[in-house]
């Protein structure tokens, strides 16, 4: 039986090129080099994105809405029994987003009351895991209204 012959076709021109093992190895090395360069560029972009997100969080902390966010956060800590939790980026951004949407501190706190009264739960082995994070309650207008409707009257 004859040994198979590999022929390569240049993608952009359609030209048949040398299909030898050396040519293939050279192409593999070229692609590995391109991949390494793309991975370096991706790491750089990720660092830039992280830096931009951190700057955004810092600006948000300095926002005029921060005192209102802190009121909402303290209410959430008390109602959901998370006294040691920190006011992190996700919680700040969720609260500021709803305040900028025109919701009041009282409406945000009512959503917190709702998620505290009726959190999402899931049974896992011998425990029940509950999702009652402030960020969940304030993630969107839809969530805020859903959890506010669960609040005790």
Joined together, the tokens standing for residue 98 give: 């709803």
For the cut 90, the answer to whether the pLDDT of residue 34 exceeds it is yes
pLDDT at 129: 73
pLDDT digits (tens, 9 = 90+) for 97-107: 999 999 999 99
Whether pLDDT at 145 is above 70: yes
Averaged pLDDT, 30-55: 94
CA torsion, ordered 147, 102, 72, 58, to nearest 10 deg: 120
Residue 120 clears pLDDT 80, i.e. is over it = no
Among 44, 35, 101, 45, which residue's Cα sits nearest to residue 68? 101
Confidence at residue 19, expressed as pLDDT on a 0 to 100 scale: 65
């Amino acid at each position: 039986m004859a040994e198979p012959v590999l022929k390569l076709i240049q993608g952009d021109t359609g030209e048949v090129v040398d299909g030898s093992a050396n040519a293939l190895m050279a192409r593999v090395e070229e692609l590995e080099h391109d991949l390494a360069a793309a991975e370096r560029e991706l790491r750089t972009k990720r660092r830039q994105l992280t830096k931009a997100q951190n700057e955004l969080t810092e600006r948000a902390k300095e926002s005029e809405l921060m005192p209102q966010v802190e009121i909402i956060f303290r209410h959430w800590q008390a109602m959901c029994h998370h006294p040691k939790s920190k006011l992190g980026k996700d919680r700040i951004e969720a609260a500021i987003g709803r305040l900028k949407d025109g919701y009041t501190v009282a409406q945000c706190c009512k959503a917190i009351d709702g998620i505290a009264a009726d959190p999402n739960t899931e049974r896992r082995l011998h425990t029940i895991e509950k999702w009652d994070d402030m960020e969940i309650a304030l993630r969107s207008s839809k969530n805020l209204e859903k959890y506010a409707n669960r609040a005790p009257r």
